[in-house]
């Protein structure tokens, strides 16, 4: 199908080198890897295949920059983040184009991410001057104590491909606000957005070595080992799968690094009989199909109480039919391709497994080779049961399986029957039930009568095997500081 990325207003944002110590550099080996457009599978760029030595150089640059950067005032760091934010807003359309080109999501969706991701720089520019300690009166007469929050040091930030801008700004914003320096491992599937952000950091006057962006594909495992095992790195922040998170956590144990991990989800989405059905349909659309279902907080297990099951299903199916699947830059397209063919294979596997176990396809349910190898229909299935893969595994794709239930007690048990606990959603008009269910769900974030919960002002993170630590909000900076106690005697 015809598909051509629109030209950038500022072509200099298109970078094919890594950013280390304020310079654009290639890998020592001169090796590169290809970056492809998921809509066409055509190569759109090459990026350096960094190895262990390259990664150590980036860490050393961050370490060299740390002593002076940590001494900057919160107000100075605030101004730098604000300049970076202003540049992101000024270049927001170009950032959106890069996101769509390498990630595949529709341009309208990418524009939302571009604005959302810039918001983290704005938020943390306002938090930087407000990192406070406490004054404490100890139990020993004549003693006084204060606490200081100090930057932890060099931080390794490992970002995923599904939000190539937001998952970076949500990490680097609080790190810089605290006075840390960073090495960012850009996602191999979508590194161009990260490199554009590095260019804007350079223009914002971020001192050299404070922000470093590296790329790798074949060497991802070895680069990850360096970032997690190098003694100079004091903090690792990772967003990705639980499986990989466990590996990185084990590696980080060798030097007892501070960690914050945002890992896999299997979000329950519950609609009770007393819910506003139209509002719940709108909420499920927002939660399930953003980024074609490729978000960690996507609704994955969808529970509809029996009295409204048919009404909800009919309205939801009609809403999904109104979507337009296609290449992200095409006019009117609402949903784009998946990131690669392996993602399509997983969605297809879940659909076929559900069909084999009695599930019915209400809409979609098929690969779309007529559009490209990475496309799969926006799909709704009914008659889903707990024996099916779609209820046990995170699909990470455009499959919405509807599961009927009878009682509140039953659905809470079903919702909590998971090793992960990132997000959960439910819809009800009963105020008592809203509090009861919100407190009962074993997740880190709950959406009550809404399918959209992400905001720079609110803490983002999970429980159980969805990880630990919080990003965004006033709590986000705490992940990048250590508390020092100073006790003095006045006796």
pLDDT at 191 over 80: yes
Query: Could you tell me if 404 and 377 are in contact, meaning their C-beta atoms sit under 8 angstroms apart?
Result: no
Range 56-79 average pLDDT: 98
Question: Which sign does the torsion angle of CA 422, 426, 430, 433 carry?
Answer: negative
Handedness of CA 172, 334, 399, 440 (dihedral sign): positive
Confidence of residue 6 (pLDDT cuts 50, 70, 90): confident
Could you tell me where the beta strands, DSSP code E, fall in 205-313?
211-214, 233-239, 258-262, 267-271, 299-305
User: How sure is the predictor about 29, in pLDDT bands with cuts at 50, 70 and 90?
Assistant: very high
Q: Which residues contact 29 (CB under 8 A, 6 or more apart)?
A: 49, 51
How many Å is the Cα radius of gyration of the chain? 23
User: 127-169 pLDDT, tens per residue?
Assistant: 999 999 999 999 999 999 999 999 999 999 999 999 999 999 9
Cβ(33)–Cβ(49) under 8 Å? yes
Looking at residue 406, what is its pLDDT? 97
Q: Is 30 helix (H, G, I), strand (E, B) or coil?
A: coil
For residue 490, what pLDDT is reported?
Answer: 80
For residue 203, the SS3 value is helix
pLDDT tens digits, one per residue of 84-105: 999 999 999 999 999 999 999 9
Query: What percentage of the chain reaches a pLDDT higher than 70?
Result: 99
Residues 332-338 have a mean pLDDT of: 96
- 343 vs 349: CA distance, rounded Å: 10
Average pLDDT over residues 245-265: 97
What would the DSSP string read from start to end of 101-144? HHH---HHHHHHHHHHHHHHHHHHHHHGGG----EE--SSTTEE
Mean pLDDT of the chain: 97
- Calpha distance 166→446 (Å, rounded): 20
Q: How is residue 102 written in tokens?
A: 């390498």
Q: How many CA atoms lie within 13 A of 8 on its CB side?
A: 20
Q: Give the CA diameter of the chain.
A: 82
For residue 229, indicate whether it is catalytic.
Answer: no
pTM across the whole model: 0.96
Give the pLDDT of residue 1.
44
Average pLDDT over residues 346-358: 97
Average pLDDT on 285-301 reads 95
Angle between helices 74-90 and 92-103 (to 10 degrees): 70
pLDDT value at 3 more than 70: no
Residue 196 has pLDDT above 70, yes or no: yes
Q: Are 288 and 394 in contact (CB under 8 A)?
A: no
Q: Is the pLDDT of residue 476 over 80?
A: yes
Tell me the domains of the chain and their CATH numbers.
Answer: 11-263+467-485 (3.40.605.10), 267-456 (3.40.309.10)
Helix/strand/coil percentages in the chain, nearest 5: 40, 25, 35
Strand partners, 420: 464
pLDDT higher than threshold 80 for residue 2: no
**Catalytic-labelled residue, pool 60, 102, 113, 262:** 262
**Residue from 368, 363, 357 nearest 399 by CA:** 363
């Amino acid at each position: 199908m015809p598909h051509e990325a629109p030209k950038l207003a500022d072509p200099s944002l298109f970078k094919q080198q890594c950013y280390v110590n304020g310079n654009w550099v290639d890998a020592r080996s001169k090796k590169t890897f290809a970056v492809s457009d998921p809509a066409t599978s055509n190569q759109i760029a090459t990026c350096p295949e960094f190895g262990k030595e390259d990664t150590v150089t980036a860490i050393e640059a961050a370490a060299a920059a740390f002593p002076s950067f940590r001494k900057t005032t919160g107000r100075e760091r605030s101004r730098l983040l604000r300049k970076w934010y202003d540049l992101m807003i000024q270049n927001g359309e170009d950032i959106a184009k890069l996101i769509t080109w390498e990630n595949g999501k529709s341009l309208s969706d990418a524009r939302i991410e571009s604005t959302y991701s810039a918001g983290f720089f704005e938020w943390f520019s306002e938090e930087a001057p407000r990192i406070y300690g406490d004054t404490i009166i100890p139990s020993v007469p004549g003693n006084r104590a204060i606490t200081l929050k100090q930057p932890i040091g060099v931080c390794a930030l490992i970002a995923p491909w599904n939000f190539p801008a937001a998952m970076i700004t949500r990490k680097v914003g609080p790190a810089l606000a605290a006075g840390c320096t960073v090495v960012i491992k850009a996602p191999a599937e979508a590194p161009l957005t990260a490199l554009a952000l590095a260019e804007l950091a350079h223009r914002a006057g971020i001192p050299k070595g404070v922000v470093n962006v590296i790329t790798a594909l074949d060497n991802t495992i070895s680069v990850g080992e360096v970032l997690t095992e190098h003694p100079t790195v004091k903090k690792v922040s990772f967003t990705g799968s639980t499986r990989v998170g466990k590996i990185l956590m084990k590696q980080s144990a060798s030097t007892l690094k501070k960690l914050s991990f945002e890992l896999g989800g299997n979000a329950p989405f519950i609609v009770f009989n007393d819910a506003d059905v139209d509002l719940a349909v709108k909420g499920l659309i927002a939660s399930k199909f953003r980024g074609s279902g490729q978000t960690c907080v996507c609704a994955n297990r969808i529970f509809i109480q029996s009295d409204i099951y048919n009404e909800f299903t009919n309205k939801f199916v009609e809403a999904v039919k109104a979507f337009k699947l296609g290449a992200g830059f095409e006019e009117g397209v609402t949903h784009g391709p998946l990131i690669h063919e392996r993602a399509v294979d997983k969605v297809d596997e879940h659909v076929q497994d559900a069909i084999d176990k009695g599930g019915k396809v209400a809409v979609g349910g098929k690969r779309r080779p007529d559009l490209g190898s990475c496309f799969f229909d926006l799909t709704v299935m009914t008659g889903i049961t707990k024996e099916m893969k779609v209820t046990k595994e995170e699909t990470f794709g455009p499959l919405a399986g509807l599961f009927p239930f009878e009682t509140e007690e039953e659905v809470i048990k079903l919702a909590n029957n998971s090793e992960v606990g990132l997000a959960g959603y439910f819809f009800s008009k009963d105020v008592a039930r809203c509090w009861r269910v919100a407190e009962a769900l074993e997740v880190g974030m709950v959406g009550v009568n809404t399918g959209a919960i992400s905001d720079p002002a609110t803490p983002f993170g999970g429980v159980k095997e969805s990880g630990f630590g919080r990003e965004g909000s006033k709590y986000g900076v705490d992940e990048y500081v250590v508390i020092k106690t100073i006790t003095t005697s006045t006796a």
